[in-house]
Chains A and B, each alone.
Chain A
Amino acid sequence: MSQLMSGSKILLECLAREGVDTIFGYPGGVTIPFYDAMLDSPIQHVLVRHEQNAAFAAQGYVRSTGKVGVCCATSGPGATNLVTGLVDAMMDSIPIVAITGQVPTKLIGSDAFQEADTFGITRSATKHNYLVKNINELPAVIHEAFYIANSGRPGPVLVDITKDVFQGNAHYVPVTSIHLPGYKVYTEGHTGQIRRAAQMMLEAERPMVYAGGGVVLSNSSDELRELVELVDAPCVTTVMGLGALAADHPNFISMPGMHGSYAANMAMYGTDLIIALGVRFDDRVTGRLNSFAPHARVIHVDIDPAEIGKNRNADLPIVGDLKRVMPKLSAVLAELKPGIGERTGLKAWWKQVRAWMDEHPLRKPVTSPDEIKPQHLMAEIDRLTNGEAIVTSDVGQHQMWSAQLIRFNKPRLWINSGGLGSMGFGLPAALGAQYANPDKLVIAICGDGGFQMSLPELATLQNYGLNVKVIIMNNGYLGMVRQWQELFYANRLSQVTLDSFPDVEKLAGAYGFKGRTIEHPRDLRDALKEAFDTPGPYLLNVRVTPTENVFPMVPAGGAINEMVLAPPQPAMAR
């Protein structure tokens, strides 16, 4: 029952079989045949304004829904523009499939117009990549790409397709199974190790759950909550894991690390057992590695065996899918718990952790009568969204304040570029998230720097009527770099001043929607309400205190128990 079909149609059929409903992309010379076939396909295409943003928008789609995202670009510059978005997805383990066009097979290697070695360039930017020169290979490759992207530790997969494959015809025989003999995925976890881990959790006097992006990726928030409650340990989540345990959960302590809370870092320093779930002991979490959690044994659960022991040795490793392993751990915990009895050590531990939380609360109000403090802006967004909105961010000070001060009570609400730290991520990610969640409030919190990196996507928002609220935390600086220059380079400011920021009322107006600038605290609440209540896109430029710094802060290379809690005295700034 095969039928003669063009490569473009075969590709669309395979995408449909993988459940794809949306492609974020940008056409070009060699992908014209694909875009032509798309006109007859039910799959939607969102035309972004730059290929990098196609990859970021696809990520916003994935991170907010859990489905595999698809982005598409043409050969040469189209493909090279995707690269940052691919590396970003690689670092945060986000499953996207990128389709790129390649010059015709017989022109490969001839420096043809818009030719680039996409297969070579994206080799280290992807979990796996393909170059398809033979139309008969196309169906299996597409299904393999989706399987690889979304199984094991997820990640981006790129499929580079030559123009002659798009244009050629072949008898399409649907693929029903794929075979990747060398691709191993370990999901179940070792039964004996799981038992030993549960035992350790109940015997620990000062246990800590350290949960990360893996919990979000594996959709196992419920399983995490059950485990945390059974162990009754304090739980921190990384910047990638915010929302994995509800911010309002009594065991939630906030985020650890460079800009984590005092309590989270002190607890990580004082714990005798780290229960690490879907985390990678990133340098932004651990600070100086050899003084990180010096008294702790470590249980490390991760689906990627290469993460175990990478930065911190695991006393008890479990390789498996959190979705499968955590319920097994909970079952053993429930079975063993009655035999353990009163855990007095744990009680004292909680008392200590609560004392740390009270000593330096993360969420204490920071306001000023005549300036909008960035913390005030985030606190107000938090108050209005109540842990329920999708919030994307760029990278820098506003990202850290958002992560510290906005609560997330569900996973897949907080979307940011955690590993790669790509500026310009927030706006296109919000675009993708809003497209996938038309009924949700989606807020893009950008710095004035990152916003200008993705500014052309304002046209896309207007084009598709996307209900994204872009909030610019505008301090007129590349704030995080300025903060480092102030603190560690004697306040010698070099190339961090961002003058000539456009008038947002005119800017948004030029695209056809509303923009507004505020600079007085008395306008903050109303302006946010207006932005949230106005249908369609909205651009709100919030002028904040230019030189505010993010605290607490663990200086790079410092130990996490040696946080700087407040602005240093003027002496430090020379």
Chain B
Amino acid sequence: MQQIISLLLENKTGALMRVTGLLTARGYNIDSLTVARTLDPELSRMTIAVDVEPHQRRQLIKHMNKLINVLQATDLTDAPSVTREMLLMRVRSAQETRTAILKEAEIFGVRVVDSTLEGFALEATGDIEKLDEFIDIMRSYGEIEVTRGGAVAVSLESKKLRLSPPVPRGAEETRLEEKNGVI
């Protein structure tokens, strides 16, 4: 089963690599990963969908929380949360199936973003299973090309964000103190 992990992290060079490195080091292949800036431009929100053995999951979240650049890593798999994904699809359709395709799109709440003589470009959002289903149906109408955006998730309970305060460091006094200290 897929694990959905939500991370709040500093928007810094290498931060993404540190998070994904924990997964690749354990030999896990990431199903999807989305990342973008938050309201605070210094922070990013990342959602990862990955198939991790259940007994490894807590350990993995702990390791993500240990990363210096990660402010909070949360396992949303079994937590109250909403997960959605967006996809863009190009579908080639013959003249006689156009109406049927539009009908299906309507049922799934899918928007048409482009229409040509060859077919349509569609924009769909929904939970992952719903998009899988929509893809299956559209396949029956002919050749399709799909770009999935990857899962994005939001927790439905407010979890308190615990941040560390600034630490005094590098002052001349600490320098003297340390010199007189050990040895």
In whole angstroms, how far apart are the Cα atoms of A144 and B12 in the complex? Answer: 15
Q: Mark B1-38, 1 if CB is under 8 A from A, else 0.
A: 00000000110011001100100010000000000000
With A178-B170, A179-B164, A184-B65 given, name 15 new contacts (CB 8 A): A16-B175, A19-B178, A67-B183, A119-B14, A123-B21, A124-B25, A147-B167, A175-B170, A176-B170, A177-B167, A179-B165, A179-B167, A181-B71, A306-B59, A309-B58
Question: Looking at the complex, which one of A17, A174, A182 makes contact with B69 (CB distance below 8 Å)?
Answer: A182
Instruction: Check A222 for interface membership: any CB of B closer than 8 A.
Output: no
**Closest Cβ–Cβ distance, residue B143 to chain A (whole Å):** 39
Which of A16, A131, A142, A177 counts the most B-chain CB atoms under 10 A from its CB?
A: A177
Q: Answer whether A175 and B14 are a contact pair too, CB < 8 Å, given A182-B69, A182-B163, A183-B68.
A: no
Main DSSP-derived SS at the A contact region: mixed
Check if B183 sits within 8 Å of A65, measured CB to CB: yes
Instruction: Check A14 for interface membership: any CB of B closer than 8 A.
Output: yes
Q: How many residues of B contact A (CB 8 A)?
A: 38
Q: Which of A425-441 contact B (CB under 8 A)?
A: 436
Question: Looking at the complex, which one of A123, A142, A144, A181 makes contact with B163 (CB distance below 8 Å)?
Answer: A181
Q: Which of A1-50 contact B (CB under 8 A)?
A: 14, 16-19
Check if B170 sits within 8 Å of A148, measured CB to CB: no
Closest 6 CB pairs of A and B: A19-B178, A306-B62, A181-B163, A179-B166, A182-B71, A143-B170
Main DSSP-derived SS at the B contact region: mixed
In whole angstroms, how far apart are the Cα atoms of A183 and B65 in the complex? Answer: 8
Q: Answer whether A143 and B63 are a contact pair too, CB < 8 Å, given A17-B174, A123-B14.
A: no
In whole angstroms, how far apart are the Cα atoms of A182 and B59 in the complex? Answer: 18
Check if A147 sits within 8 Å of B9, measured CB to CB: no
Check if B17 sits within 8 Å of A66, measured CB to CB: no
Instruction: Check A310 for interface membership: any CB of B closer than 8 A.
Output: yes
Check if A180 sits within 8 Å of B167, measured CB to CB: yes
Instruction: Check B70 for interface membership: any CB of A closer than 8 A.
Output: yes
Question: Looking at the complex, which one of A65, A176, A182, A310 makes contact with B68 (CB distance below 8 Å)?
Answer: A182
Instruction: Check B168 for interface membership: any CB of A closer than 8 A.
Output: yes
Instruction: Check A195 for interface membership: any CB of B closer than 8 A.
Output: no
Q: Which of A134-188 contact B (CB under 8 A)?
A: 139, 142-144, 146-148, 174-185
Check if B17 sits within 8 Å of A120, measured CB to CB: yes
Q: Which residue of B lies closest to A130 (CB)?
A: B14
Instruction: Check B67 for interface membership: any CB of A closer than 8 A.
Output: yes
How many interface residues does chain A have, given as a range?
A: 35 or more
Instruction: Check A562 for interface membership: any CB of B closer than 8 A.
Output: no
Check if B182 sits within 8 Å of A65, measured CB to CB: yes
Check if B162 sits within 8 Å of A184, measured CB to CB: yes
Check if A18 sits within 8 Å of B62, measured CB to CB: no
Q: Mark B41-67, 1 if CB is under 8 A from A, else 0.
A: 000000000000000001100110111
In whole angstroms, how far apart are the Cα atoms of A139 and B170 in the complex? Answer: 9
Check if B17 sits within 8 Å of A181, measured CB to CB: no
In whole angstroms, how far apart are the Cα atoms of A309 and B182 in the complex? Answer: 34
Check if A185 sits within 8 Å of B164, measured CB to CB: yes
Check if A182 sits within 8 Å of B70, measured CB to CB: yes
Chain A residues, Cβ within 8 Å of B59: 306, 309-310
Instruction: Check B159 for interface membership: any CB of A closer than 8 A.
Output: no
Instruction: Check B179 for interface membership: any CB of A closer than 8 A.
Output: yes
Instruction: Check B160 for interface membership: any CB of A closer than 8 A.
Output: no
Chain A residues, Cβ within 8 Å of B14: 119, 123, 129, 131
Check if A182 sits within 8 Å of B25, measured CB to CB: no
Instruction: Check B107 for interface membership: any CB of A closer than 8 A.
Output: no
Q: Which residue of A lies closest to B55 (CB)?
A: A309
Check if B167 sits within 8 Å of A178, measured CB to CB: yes
Check if B66 sits within 8 Å of A176, measured CB to CB: no
In whole angstroms, how far apart are the Cα atoms of A127 and B63 in the complex? Answer: 11
Instruction: Check A128 for interface membership: any CB of B closer than 8 A.
Output: yes
Chain A residues, Cβ within 8 Å of B170: 14, 17-18, 139, 142-143, 174-178
Check if A66 sits within 8 Å of B167, measured CB to CB: no
In whole angstroms, how far apart are the Cα atoms of A120 and B172 in the complex? Answer: 33
| 12 A–B contacts from the bound complex (CB under 8 Å) | A119-B14, A123-B17, A127-B68, A128-B68, A142-B170, A143-B169, A176-B168, A177-B168, A180-B164, A182-B67, A182-B70, A182-B72
